[in-house]
Amino acid sequence: MKKNENKTSILAPLTIGTLRLEHPVFLAPMAGYTHFPFRTICREFHCGMTFTEMVMVEGITRLCPQTMHYLETRPGENPIGAHIYGQNPDSIAKAAEIIEKTGRFDVVDLNCGCPVRKIRRKGAGVSLMKDPEHLYKIVKGMTERVSMPVTVKTRLGLTPECINIAEIAHAVEEAGASALFLHARTADAVHGGPANWEKLAAVKAQLSIPVIGNGGVDCAQDAVEMVLQTGVDGVMLARAAVGNPWIFEEIYCLLHGQPFVAPTREERRAVIAEHFERELALMHIEDAFRKRRKHSTEHAACGKFRAQLVRYVRGTPDLRLLIRTLNTVQSPEDVMHMVDTAFAWQAEVEKNA
């Protein structure tokens, strides 16, 4: 739904290198989630920019079809960033060059914050925070090899006893990065516990490049509070948007002082159905990379959609009972039957309240 674009937002338009964003509210890269079905749904509700899932640089440099598939985009997705991970400076720089040559992306973003063990063991993700000089070399190599903006997504540190974000942030800035996306938690916290917005504000105050805050934004009001309390140049959402793409519309309305009208159940149902159809279309594309499937394409799409589906119907009475039936969902009809059941339960509770 289009809003009055003339009202002033408390969050100003943002420039990241050569990219200008009128509404700097971002969907964070999330493995298993930020492929084109979810990205495009969020963009339709005033998400300002999205990112791909985390893509391995070695697969990019080898032009591996399965890896390059993660860099596929759809018309109208821009602005969008390619989110990559690795630890070898030459490989990362080469991957950045390949990404730029695709002509699909507005920025290339280096992951320096993923706490997953298999990523850390490779010396990638948050492990890059252990050596600011090495990180500087990586980012410098990227900025020297591509003309598109280079950005970095990172955390406060590995543990509360090892917070070195100031050193990391200055290394990133000095290497020529155009922006820093900062998750205001340490790696050991993963996604739990309170986010440290005081540290986020301190980093913002020290840098000349834009700082986009991430972490602790669980609702639209949190996004506004993050801007007011920390002065960040933008806000990035992750799990709060899963099953709730309308949060971007609500944030937009709050930032611009406009009323937000929550979607009706019929509107929510229509979005869920469209989201699943896009998941199914993606699964048909992925069939080209899979010689065999244990289940049908529709069944596989249902499996991939389950995490989103649970969040779409949260607030349903006896949600645990509904979740236990997820393994039986094998077709689009099954998906929408579950949605209709959840919404009917919700309506009955409201009727009797």
DSSP codes, 7-45: SPPSS--EEETTEEESS-EEEPP-TTT-SHHHHHHHHTT
Which residues have CB under 8 Å from 321's CB, separation 6+?
Answer: none
In this structure, are residues 146 and 172 in contact, taking their beta carbons and an 8 Å threshold?
no
CATH of 14-255, one of 3.20.20.70, 3.30.1490.20, 3.40.50.720, 3.40.30.10: 3.20.20.70
Q: Indicate which residues carry an active-site annotation.
A: 114
**Rg from Cα positions in the chain:** 20
In this structure, are residues 277 and 297 in contact, taking their beta carbons and an 8 Å threshold?
no
- Measured CA to CA, the distance from residue 241 to residue 236 in angstroms comes to 10
CA end-to-end span of the chain: 31
The per-residue DSSP string of 78-107 comes to -SEEEEEE-S-HHHHHHHHHHHHHHT--SE
In this structure, are residues 197 and 184 in contact, taking their beta carbons and an 8 Å threshold?
yes
In tens digits, the chain (353 residues) has pLDDT values of 344 444 567 899 999 999 999 999 999 999 999 999 999 999 999 999 999 999 999 999 999 999 999 999 999 999 999 999 999 999 999 999 999 999 999 999 999 999 999 999 999 999 999 999 999 999 999 999 999 999 999 999 999 999 999 999 999 999 999 999 999 999 999 988 899 999 999 999 999 999 999 999 999 999 999 999 999 999 999 999 999 999 999 999 999 999 999 999 999 999 999 999 999 999 988 887 766 667 788 988 888 898 899 899 888 877 777 777 777 888 899 899 889 988 888 888 888 86
